[in-house]
Amino acid sequence: MKKLFPIALMVLGLVFVASGGYTIFRGFDAKDQVRDELIAQNIVTPEDASIPNAQVKGPKTAESMANIIQVHANESTGGRPYSEIGRFLAVGGGDTSNEAEALKDDQGRPVANPVRNVAFQAATLRTSLYTSIMAWNVGDLVIGLGLMIVVLGFSVGGLGVALGAMAIPALARRAHVEPIAAH
């Protein structure tokens, strides 16, 4: 039984190292998928962005693009968010969500408010860009956790080798570990 515990630690250490390696791989894979999707969209930041004329392919350029979208949306909406903009153009100017007060087209239907559509599109695009930033950061977190699991695996496996060297003399000779009590 005293030989089984060190062997179990060594096996557990190997399992942790393999699991940590897989976790690291998945973290890098997630970041690659996000980057590839951003590149596939072929988004380039405009001149007035904090990072001008750059292809959006990572968290910094995605954030720059999301921020400039908000600036442009605020210019179009007067700073009002989507939820505060009426669905239709109003008869006397402005906007309303009341169909009775709405400006009508030739068929008598209320005319949609284009400013509300701008606000909606801006909110949708910003949410998508910030989701890519979040996914990138989660990928970093997964890589860090994978590294911690690998270190834990080497620690547990090393402890198993050390204990095994004390319990199994053949392992001590093979691992070039000499018990301290032998001196």
| Separation CA 126–CA 67 (nearest Å) | 8
**Per-residue pLDDT tens digits for 73-94:** 999 999 999 989 999 999 988 8
Q: How far apart are the first and last CA of the chain?
A: 26
Q: Is the pLDDT of residue 177 over 70?
A: no
SS3 22: helix
pLDDT the model gives residue 172: 67
Q: Roughly what angle, to the nearest 10 degrees, separates helices 4-41 and 114-167? A: 160
The total of other beta-carbon atoms located within 10 Å of residue 88's CB is: 20
Helix (H) or strand (E) holding 6: helix 4-41
Is the CB of residue 49 less than 8 Å from the CB of residue 64? yes
Domain range annotation of the chain: 4-177
The answer, yes or no, to whether residue 143 has pLDDT greater than 70, is yes
What pLDDT is recorded for position 23? Answer: 98
> 163 vs 18, which has greater pLDDT?
18
Token pair, residue 55, equals 């292809």
How far apart are alpha carbons 132 and 59 in whole angstroms? 7
Other C-beta atoms lying within 10 Å of the C-beta of residue 139: 21
